[in-house]
Amino acid sequence: MGNSNNNIEDLLDLLRPHYGTGLTISPVAGGDCHKSYRLDCEDGRHFFMKTNTPRYLEVLASEHFSLCKVAALLGGVDALYPEVEGYIEEAGVCCLVLEWRELGTFNESNGAAIANSLFNQHAISADRYGWEESNFLGLTKQNNNWNISWADFFLTERLMPQAKQAKANGMPVYLLEQVKRTCENAHTLLQSHQPTPSLLHGDLWTGNVSWDIARDEPCLYDPAPYFGDPEVDIAMSRLFGQLPASFYKHYYTRYGELPNNNAAPDEPSSELKGVRLERELAPVQRRAQVYNLLHALNHFNLFGGGYLSMVESHLFQ
Count of all residues that appear for the chain in the document: 317
The contacts found for 307-310 with CB under 8 angstroms, 24 or more apart, are 308/171, 308/172, 308/175
Please compute, for residue 190, the number of CA atoms within 13 A of its CA located in the half-sphere on the CB side. 26
Annotation marks residue 43 as catalytic: no
**How far apart, in whole angstroms, are the C-alpha atoms of residue 151 and residue 243?**
27
Within 10 Å of residue 232's Cβ, how many Cβ atoms? 26
SS3 191: helix
Phi, psi of 90, deg, nearest 5: -155, 150
Say how far apart CA 56 and CA 238 lie, in whole Å: 29
Q: Of 203, 222, 229, 233, which residue is the catalytic one?
A: 203
User: What's the CA gap between 251 and 248, in Å, rounded?
Assistant: 5
Instruction: With beta carbons less than 8 A apart as the criterion, state whether 292 and 303 touch.
Output: no
Report, as residue numbers or ranges, the catalytic residues.
203
